[in-house]
Amino acid sequence: MASDTGTLSIDFLAGFTIFMLAFIWVATMIPGLFLGIRANTIDYDAVAYRTGVILVEDPGAAGTVAFGGPQGKFPWELQSEKVDVARFGLAVSRETPNILDRNKIDRFFCTTAFTYPDDYHAKAIFGDYPYRFNISLKYEGQEQVQSVGEPIPDNYGYIRRDVKVKQGSNATIDKAVIKEFKYNNTDTASRHDFSIVLNNTRLLYEEVRDPAYRISTPTDRIMINITDLDETRSNKNVPAKSTGLPSGYNLSAVTFSYLPLGQASRIPFTPPAKYAAFVYEDGNATPVSPPVDVRNNVTLVFEPGFFKNINTNSQIYINLTFGLRSEDTFLNNTLTSPYDYNYTATHLTSPSLHDGVLEVAVW
């Protein structure tokens, strides 16, 4: 039979001490529970989501307080200094989420203009923690992926957004247009001028008001192809190359002017110097500035920002002067009316939307 006569008076003390030591040991393990939990690892997905929203649903912002006040007149993608870019955002406008602007995309992914990770962190990712990230965009049906950032590791926060990318508009003035509008009916003209008008009020505020579809002269790429110059000419008195005179039809000058709303006379306009080369002669891949020797085709490409200094309620006139003998019947609308670049113009392709997908990975 058991009795408790073997119990020592210090048994309780010893047992309690062992228990306390063990309890302290367990208690010290508790902070270790939270070791794997840090704010920045929790919010990788949240930061990726936020960055996705900023890029896809916001048009971005320009202007800094420190450098002479906000440059709010122009959108961020037209700022030449990166310090004037306050926040990236690829949407065409605030009203058109998921519709992205091609020029903003190209500028955003230009790693010579902006440096990874500092500029992108300060203008798109935000936050104090030095996140690393990879942002990529792919157009549907194309192999090429535009991306910025580092290779993606195993563990990262992620978001994917389906988008559409707005492409610029273009017009082709070919023999059909030339004949339809009698652009070569110039028997009494003294020189060969061809003019094109872009009526900002009509383009921006009348037929198409949705920023996703409208032709926005300050921010869109505008392309004008003039073809069949040779075919639509009647008297083929082209000076030969051997004479030392300019060969071809010599597009001697392209001049610009604008007519502000309610005013009677046009004001000459000189585009910013960075856009000086805008003429592609006969399908060449490199643009040049006039005068240009053209044979049969000429393409004028006005990159986004070309007309940014012109008020959006003005009409823009583009005048092409060809150095050709006046007795030749040639592309000339001095006796008719300028070619009106608008949504219903013949052979004009309005801005179109192209499918794409944007991915943001943050770690």
Partner 1 sequence: MVNENGQLYTIEGVAAGLILLLTAYFVVNSTSIYTPGDTHISDMQLEVIGADALTMMDTAPNATGKSPLTQIIESGNADGFTSMFLSTANATTGERQDTIQFQANLTYVRSDDSINSTLFARSARPFTGTEHAVHVSRWVILEKNLPGTTGDRHAALVEVLLWRD
Within 311-350, the residues that bind partner 1 by CB under 8 A are 343, 350
The first and second tokens of residue 311, run together, are 């008020």
The first and second tokens of residue 363, run together, are 């770690």
Per-residue contact flags (x/-) with partner 1 for residues 150 to 189, judged by CB under 8 A: --------xxxxxxx-------------------------
Per-residue contact flags (x/-) with partner 1 for residues 198 to 237, judged by CB under 8 A: ---------xx-x-xxx-----------------------
For the bound state, the minimum distance from the C-beta of residue 85 to partner 1, rounded and expressed in Å, comes to 24
Phi, psi values for residue 292, rounded to 5°: -135, 140
Per-residue contact flags (x/-) with partner 1 for residues 115 to 154, judged by CB under 8 A: ---------------------xxx-x----x-x-------
Which position among 40, 49, 191, 282 is part of the footprint of partner 1 (CB under 8 A)? 49
Upper half-sphere CA count for residue 304 (Cβ side, 13 Å)? 23
The first and second tokens of residue 241, run together, are 């190359």
- Using CB under 8 A as the binding criterion, the count of chain residues that bind partner 1 stands at 55
The first and second tokens of residue 165, run together, are 């990318």
Distance, in Å, from the CA atom of 89 to the CA atom of 123, rounded to the nearest integer, reads 9
Closest C-alpha to 340, from 208, 198, 207: 198
- Helices then strands, counting H and E runs in the chain, come out as 7, 17
For the bound state, the minimum distance from the C-beta of residue 2 to partner 1, rounded and expressed in Å, comes to 6
Within 258-297, the residues that bind partner 1 by CB under 8 A are none
The first and second tokens of residue 86, run together, are 């306050």
> β-strand 169-173 against 267-269: which pairing, if any?
unpaired
Amino acid at the residue 284: N
Binding-site ranges for partner 1 (CB under 8 A): 2-8, 11, 15, 18-19, 22-23, 26, 29-30, 33-34, 37, 42-43, 45-46, 49, 52, 97-99, 136-138, 140, 145, 147, 158-164, 207-208, 210, 212-214, 343, 350, 352-353, 355, 357-359
